[in-house]
């Protein structure tokens, strides 16, 4: 009986973790999976929702911004906007170019970074955050009040991995001086 129980525990444990490649190309091993989907309000920024809106719709809703290759590791297509204050940049991204990503594809990723990136459009007078309030400058406790305990935690990262039967959702909260300095939020079909 004990041997069977240990075997079952091992199988459940093996199925309940995944290795995740972060945006900075770091690979995090054995990330525990949170069952279910990433909460919808965390997937929406300035009225654009990942998995619902096309990149072209985001562009018409948020204003003019040039299309650009998002670069490694995802090599997708994206647009970017700088907040009215100039202290935050939002990247809105879709797909992979090698798979033929176009402006007609659904948005799948939002990235919020400190500072103004050159060549981006402007969104005046708007704070760049998700509908749920995820934004730069939050403490780990404030992030956890919205998303619960992370799948994995370190001094510089809170990592959330959500998985349902049809999609995988990831939130990377990079920390600097105890607050969120970069957010990567995405949801992709399970392949």
Which of these, 184, 156, 159, lies nearest to 76 by C-alpha position? 184
Helix (H, G, I), strand (E, B) or coil at 165: coil
pLDDT for 74: 59
Task: Read off the pLDDT of each residue in 145-154 and give the average, rounded to a whole number.
Answer: 95
pLDDT for 66: 87
Q: Determine contact, residues 42/130, Cβ cutoff 8 Å.
A: yes
Q: What are phi and psi of 99, to 5 degrees?
A: -95, 5
pTM: 0.86
- Enter the tokens of residue 24: 């900075």
* DSSP letter assigned to residue 25: S
pLDDT for 68: 85
By residue range, what is the domain housing residue 117? 2-189
Tens of pLDDT along 93-143? Answer: 987 655 667 788 889 999 999 998 899 999 976 679 999 999 999 999 999
Which of these, 131, 167, 126, 124, lies nearest to 146 by C-alpha position? 131
pLDDT above 70 for 182: yes
Q: Determine contact, residues 128/67, Cβ cutoff 8 Å.
A: no
Task: Read off the pLDDT of each residue in 24-35 and give the average, rounded to a whole number.
Answer: 89
pLDDT above 90 for 188: no
pLDDT for 7: 26
Q: What is the mean pLDDT of the chain?
A: 85
Helix (H, G, I), strand (E, B) or coil at 77: strand
Task: Read off the pLDDT of each residue in 76-99 and give the average, rounded to a whole number.
Answer: 85
pLDDT for 13: 37
Q: Determine contact, residues 113/93, Cβ cutoff 8 Å.
A: no
* Residue 8 pLDDT grade (very low, low, confident, very high; cuts 50, 70, 90): very low
Comparison of pLDDT for 127 and 166, the residue scoring more: 166
Number of independent structural domains in the chain: 1
pLDDT for 4: 27
pLDDT for 97: 53
Round to whole Å and give the CA distance between 85 and 75: 29
């Amino acid at each position: 009986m004990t041997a069977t129980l240990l075997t079952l525990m091992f199988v459940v444990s093996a199925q309940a973790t995944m290795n995740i490649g972060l945006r900075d190309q770091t690979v995090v091993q054995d990330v525990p999976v949170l069952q279910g989907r990433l909460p919808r309000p965390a997937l929406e920024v300035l009225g654009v929702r990942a998995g619902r809106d096309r990149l072209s719709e985001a562009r018409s809703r948020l204003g003019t911004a040039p299309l650009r290759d998002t670069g490694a590791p995802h090599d997708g297509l994206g647009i970017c906007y700088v907040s009215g204050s100039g202290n935050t940049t939002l990247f809105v991204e879709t797909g992979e170019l090698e798979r033929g990503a176009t402006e007609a594809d659904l948005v799948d990723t939002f990235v919020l970074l400190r500072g103004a990136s050159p060549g981006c459009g402007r969104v005046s007078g708007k704070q760049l955050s998700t509908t749920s309030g995820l934004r730069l400058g939050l403490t780990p406790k404030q992030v956890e009040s919205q998303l619960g305990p992370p799948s994995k935690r370190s001094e510089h990262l809170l990592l959330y991995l959500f998985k349902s039967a049809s999609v995988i959702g990831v939130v990377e909260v990079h920390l600097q001086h105890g607050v969120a300095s970069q957010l990567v939020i995405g949801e992709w079909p399970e392949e």
